[in-house]
Amino acid sequence: MTGKTLYEKLWDAHVVRADADGTALIYIDRHLVHEVTSPQAFEGLKLAGRQPWRASSILAVADHNVPTTDRSQGIADPVSRLQVETLDTNARDYHLTYFNMNDRRQGIVHVIGSEQGATLPGMTVVCGDSHTSTHGAFATLAMGIGTSEVEHVLATQCLLTRQMKTLQVRVEGQVGPGVTAKDIMLAIIGEIGTVGGTGYAIEFAGEAIRALSMEGRMTICNMSIEAGARCGMVAVDDTTIEYLRGRPYAPQGELWDCAVDAWRELVSDADAVFDKVVVLDGTAIQPQVSWGTSPEMVVSVGGRVPDPSEEADPVKAEGMQRALQYMDLVPGVPISAITLDRIFIGSCTNARIEDLRAAASVVRGRKIAPTLKQAMVVPGSGLVKVQAEAEGLDQVFIEAGFEWREPGCSMCLAMNADRLQPGERCASTSNRNFEGRQGSGGRTHLVSPAMAAAAAIAGHFVDVREFSS
Amino acid sequence: MKAFTQHTGRVVPLDRANVDTDAIIPKQFLKSIKRTGFGVNLFDDWRYLDKGEPGGDNTQRPLNPDFVLNQPRYAGASILLARKNFGCGSSREHAVWALDDYGIRAVIAPSFADIFHNNSFKSGLLPVELDEAVVERLFREVETQPGYQLSIDLAEQTITTPSETLNFAVDSFRKHCLLNGLDDIGLTLQHADEIRAYEQRRYQQAPWLFAGVAAK
């Protein structure tokens, strides 16, 4: 008998029942909830006269609509305010643990879950948000779900689903200095495309992945969905366990020791067989910049905007043509010649302490380019913000000309007041460069925090490895 | 849930790959706490020449004449023909609600993003996956034949065009739910005893999973 992949171990441990046709009911250990995708689910629950199956499995937080400026006056936009107030009410009515807008632990749902130790190895984790894949960094089966499924999990603690195929993405060798988790993931998406992971659970492995911190692994797993995969994961090792030790919701004492013994098993067996394997050479990965309107449209910072006429597939060529038009770029232009209006350092992809340290180390002692309209840093959580301030990073950013904001999703998706104006171009550490994602008509280039910081200083893209005062 | 059995309707072609859920329903409309009323803002950025806001009067807004949904020949269409990776990006079920509210009953594409595909079945919207070459042929037929219609029969798993009958695959459980308009939650709760038994078994193995996130 061959061994099991990590995904198969997680799956097998959570099957409540399985039908002959492959439809299975899997048990959900942790349910993360935010204000945008939950109101209709709670309403459905209420209309049916149901209660949450296990309210203690739920951690709720307001993140998408919250202002990142002074919150003492509440939310100005009445529609956003109602949505957050609806979560306030639901959390109160159903006795949920809830970090409201003014809680010091408040932050982006995918930052606070792991920060609090609410995401533990071996768990199934769901949230009405496609970036739930982030939590797979802790060897969890973590998936984004729709609002009807949120209601289903609330009512039954289970998800109706089918087993996915397995894809191992192995990044061999070590990446060079200045090349980060974000660059690795953009390079992976550039390689396998936005459909490459559809129908698969991805396990990220190889020397370059093992060498990453938990923050880096979260960045990688976060963008699994941009490669089409509902979930991505990394096996447990010492890095995982050390990150979790002492976190508020992590087990303590004897229970901790038992848990760690169990967690050590959460690796793919040596003889496990994946349905598909993709191997990348980590040593060849350069800092990445997206040029188009899909995360697969990326090139190395030393490259040029590609030419659709050189693309053989007509549907793809047309997509490239449309993207160039939207992005107001012409083929052949060096990436380093692209000038920027705004810089956004934040999001569930890149707003953890390590990301802010990386950006601050580039910015330290420098000023942002006078041609920029704005450069902002939005910490991923209140606790990340406190930590950064304790390290003096806020001052580094402020002295350089950045705005230092309150935590939230902010300009990753522009549901609050933070957004691009039509035609503006932004270097962003977020995860999606779709048309209008950061504001109607806005143009997004996805990069790492260090690359965004370097672009802020230069006013245009620049290879962070060659960046000097 | 709304059932889907058979449907005949006009087809509208959306000729671009990787149509994401941000495009299907832009973020400003996600602030609604309702499931209805998203149809007028379906594809808002492409459909209108100005920028839409929630609660605004959409009847006075300038339409983009180049966008397919605004072309008279596709008026009243209820079947959307699309390219690969339709519905990628955000998990927002509002995308499905917007399509449904507009009057779209089925989407045909070479591939769908997983979460969108899943969400569709929950609101009675049928996603049909066909080979890329077949989709390409349908695009040519729709564009050359004004008033082009298709008939979809879920029980038979067939699509009938003016010239041929095509078969499509669908998960048997989802098909059953969709044909009968069944509520997933009600079905799952029939297995409540099994869920409780699982919890007891699992608690013995891994009690830390049940510690919960009570106030600290």
pLDDT of residue A383: 98
Whether B111 and A198 lie within 8 Å, measured CB to CB: yes
Whether A79 and B35 lie within 8 Å, measured CB to CB: no
| Mean predicted confidence (pLDDT) in A397-416 | 96
> Residues A91, B54, B4, CA angle at the centre, nearest 5°?
80
Torsion sign across C-alpha atoms B68, B140, B167, A149: negative
- Which residues, at least 6 apart from B78, have a Cβ–Cβ distance to it below 8 Å? B7, B9, B10, B103, B104, B105, B106
pLDDT of residue B214: 75
Whether B20 and A148 lie within 8 Å, measured CB to CB: no
Chain B CB contacts of A82 below 8 Å: 31, 33
Whether B115 and A230 lie within 8 Å, measured CB to CB: yes
Task: Please give the helix or strand (H or E) that residue A25 lies within, else none.
Answer: strand A23-27
Whether A131 contacts A144, CB under 8 Å: yes
pLDDT of residue B62: 97
- Which residues, at least 6 apart from B13, have a Cβ–Cβ distance to it below 8 Å? B68, B74, B81, B138, B139, B142, B143
Closest partner residue to A152 (CB to CB) among B89, B184, B206 is: B184
User: In the numeric block, which tokens belong to residue A300?
Assistant: 């190395």
Chain B CB contacts of A247 below 8 Å: none
Q: How many CB atoms lie within 10 A of CB A314?
A: 10
For residue A397, give how far its alpha carbon lies from the nearest alpha carbon of chain B (Å).
29
Whether B123 and A230 lie within 8 Å, measured CB to CB: no
Task: Please give the helix or strand (H or E) that residue A355 lies within, else none.
Answer: helix A353-363
Chain A CB contacts of B135 below 8 Å: none
User: In the numeric block, which tokens belong to residue A347?
Assistant: 């999001």
Q: What percent of chain A has pLDDT over 70?
A: 100
Whether A40 and B35 lie within 8 Å, measured CB to CB: yes
Chain A CB contacts of B85 below 8 Å: 194-195, 198, 228
Confidence check: pLDDT of B169 > 80: yes
For residue B85, give how far its alpha carbon lies from the nearest alpha carbon of chain A (Å).
6
For residue A183, give how far its alpha carbon lies from the nearest alpha carbon of chain B (Å).
19
**Radius of gyration (Cα) for chain B, nearest Å?**
20
CA–CA separation, A186 vs A227, rounded Å?
A: 9
**pLDDT-derived band of residue A374, with 50, 70 and 90 as boundaries?**
very high
Nearest to A33, CA basis, from A51, A49, A57: A57
Q: What percent of chain A has pLDDT over 90?
A: 97
Model confidence pLDDT, tens digit, residues A140-158? 999 999 999 999 999 999 9
pLDDT of residue A469: 45
Chain A CB contacts of B190 below 8 Å: none
Whether B122 and A148 lie within 8 Å, measured CB to CB: yes
| Mean predicted confidence (pLDDT) in B48-65 | 94
Average pLDDT value over all residues in chain A: 97
Torsion sign across C-alpha atoms A231, A134, A39, B191: positive
| Mean predicted confidence (pLDDT) in A76-103 | 96
For residue A402, give how far its alpha carbon lies from the nearest alpha carbon of chain B (Å).
26
For residue B105, give how far its alpha carbon lies from the nearest alpha carbon of chain A (Å).
18
Whether A59 and B213 lie within 8 Å, measured CB to CB: yes
User: In the numeric block, which tokens belong to residue A55?
Assistant: 């309210």
Total beta-carbon pairs less than 8 A apart between chain A and chain B:
201
Chain A CB contacts of B216 below 8 Å: 248-249
Residue A418's Cβ-side half-sphere holds a number of Cα atoms within 13 Å equal to 31
Model confidence pLDDT, tens digit, residues A339-373? 999 999 999 999 999 999 999 999 999 999 999 99
Instruction: Confirm whether pTM is higher than 0.95.
Output: yes
User: In the numeric block, which tokens belong to residue B44?
Assistant: 């808002």
Confidence check: pLDDT of B1 > 90: no
Whether B91 and A194 lie within 8 Å, measured CB to CB: no
Model confidence pLDDT, tens digit, residues B142-160? 999 999 999 999 999 999 9
| Mean predicted confidence (pLDDT) in B187-212 | 96
Whether A156 and B26 lie within 8 Å, measured CB to CB: no
DSSP-assigned letters across all residues of A310-350: G-S-HHHHHHHHHHHHHHT--TT-BGGG-B-SEEEE-TTTS
| Mean predicted confidence (pLDDT) in B113-118 | 96
CA–CA separation, B97 vs B90, rounded Å?
A: 14
Model confidence pLDDT, tens digit, residues A285-314? 999 999 999 999 999 999 999 999 999 999
Closest residue in B to A13 (Cα) is: B202
Closest partner residue to B18 (CB to CB) among A48, A50, A319 is: A319
pLDDT of residue B215: 56
Whether A36 and B92 lie within 8 Å, measured CB to CB: yes
Residue B7 pairs in a beta bridge with B152
Whether B85 and A228 lie within 8 Å, measured CB to CB: yes
For residue A467, give how far its alpha carbon lies from the nearest alpha carbon of chain B (Å).
33
Model confidence pLDDT, tens digit, residues A276-287? 999 999 999 999
pLDDT of residue B120: 97
Closest partner residue to A145 (CB to CB) among B55, B91, B202 is: B91
Closest residue in B to A421 (Cα) is: B51
CA–CA separation, A136 vs A122, rounded Å?
A: 10
**pLDDT-derived band of residue B2, with 50, 70 and 90 as boundaries?**
confident
Whether B23 and A436 lie within 8 Å, measured CB to CB: yes
Closest partner residue to B89 (CB to CB) among A118, A128, A432 is: A432
Whether A435 and B114 lie within 8 Å, measured CB to CB: no
Chain B CB contacts of A16 below 8 Å: 191, 194-195, 198
Model confidence pLDDT, tens digit, residues A116-125? 999 999 999 9
Closest residue in A to B23 (Cα) is: A435
Each residue of B50-61: b (16+ CB within 10 Å) or e?
Answer: ebbebeeeeeeb
Whether A122 and B28 lie within 8 Å, measured CB to CB: no
Whether B18 and A194 lie within 8 Å, measured CB to CB: yes
